[in-house]
Structure 1
């Protein structure tokens, strides 16, 4: 194996390729299909979520972007299956930290995660142009290219490894490429605590001329992860 191949393999090993279903997205972001029908939408970062696949089949205009998309679809699909199985094993030890209303049990959760992965992988093969590789905090899109931007389980979630400066730069970039609004879910880190710099970031957004709201949504799986940040760009 060459050094480049080895580095690529190691990079892929660091990526967790797990995704949520289309229905989860609607609930996480408190949205309806009708609200999104006439919008140009960006899912960032999208991972193995099926939102782009299912959304476009329903006549929506959705683009997905993620650092994972630098890798081949076959490798990502294999990685996704491994990651789901690993996550389900880990879930047995932390089951008490989750709310089991949306999913009946771990097996039901596994089915949802595998369903999202399969839909995503199939759609990547059919519509590869919809899946754009990116490396945050920069995005290869034009100013205000998308009406709505959705961002799930990335910012705030990984507060232990993404510092405040990264959050700030990424938010500036999300605002730049969005025309109307950005919705970010959830507002807690992996321990279930509210992101400690959230108020500071909200002030940053207000200074940029945005309106910012913390809104409760009809979705909670990780305990305390039941709110999103809605950022509206004032025209």
Structure 2
């Protein structure tokens, strides 16, 4: 953690709600109980805060958490407003079944941010700054790891080697299962090196399954990768 923190203006601090996580990752609350869970990178998501309110052990980590709660709340509000303006110009790229309209989407994003900020205020120790592909956790420390809207999405700036290094690290800290969502890039195209990544995960001694989920907002983004340690 001695690295220079990334300027906040280079970070997009937007998150999803707890309910979105349940749908994105095809989870059940029964499945979560008794598990030690990692959300990485967690951004402004409400999953950690809402899960911990139910007695579920979740740790969130993200490069953004190097910054103060106040700065993150301000940045999150700005990013939501900015995103909604730009999404209005490209509404046809999205499936409006889950949110129905931009106003509903904005409400969900603000709720996620508010829950995340509240969680940080309750216990900042549950929100750890990290810089992938390195993680400050023990081998197999978490039963389940969830990773959303990072790998695969930024294929234009994160090369295949970075993906492999990050996945290797996520697998290292995971005892049972890693789930990744979605499997498309920002343009809505299936990640072009996914077959190579799946082969790499097999070489790491993992079983890999692509699973359809009951959540689709970005058109084509309705599958996750379920990676199990053997």
Same fold (TM over 0.5): yes
SS in 2 for 1:170: helix
2:68 counterpart of 1:75:
no
Which residue in 2 is equivalent to 1:134?
A: 130
Report the equivalent of 1:48: 44
Counterpart CA distance in 1 for 2:70 and 2:218 is: 30
Q: Secondary structure at the match of 1:78?
A: helix
Structure 2 residue 100 is matched with structure 1 residue 111: no
1:55-204 paired onto structure 2 within 5 Å: 55-204=51-200
Q: State TM-score, norm by structure 1.
A: 0.95
Q: 5 Å matches for 1:219-234?
A: 219-234=215-230
Bigger helix fraction: 1
Q: TM-score, normalized by length of structure 2?
A: 0.97
Rounded to whole Å, the distance in 1 between the matches of 2:134 and 2:194 is 21
TM superposition shift of 1:192: 0.6
Gaps of 5+ in 2: none
1:59 deviates by 1.2
- For the residue of structure 2 that corresponds to 1:87, the secondary structure is helix
* Ranges in structure 1 where 5+ consecutive residues have no aligned partner: 1-6
Alignment pair present for 1:11 and 2:10 = no
Post-superposition, which runs of at least 4 consecutive aligned residues in structure 1 deviate over 3 A? none
Aligned-pair CA distance for 1:122: 0.9
- 1:3 match: none
1:191 to partner: Cα distance: 0.6
Shift of 1:78: 0.1
In structure 2, the partner of 1:211 is 207
- State the shift of 1:38 in Å: 1.0
Deviations 1:115-142 (A, max 9, x none): 0000100110111110010000000000
Q: Secondary structure at the match of 1:27?
A: helix
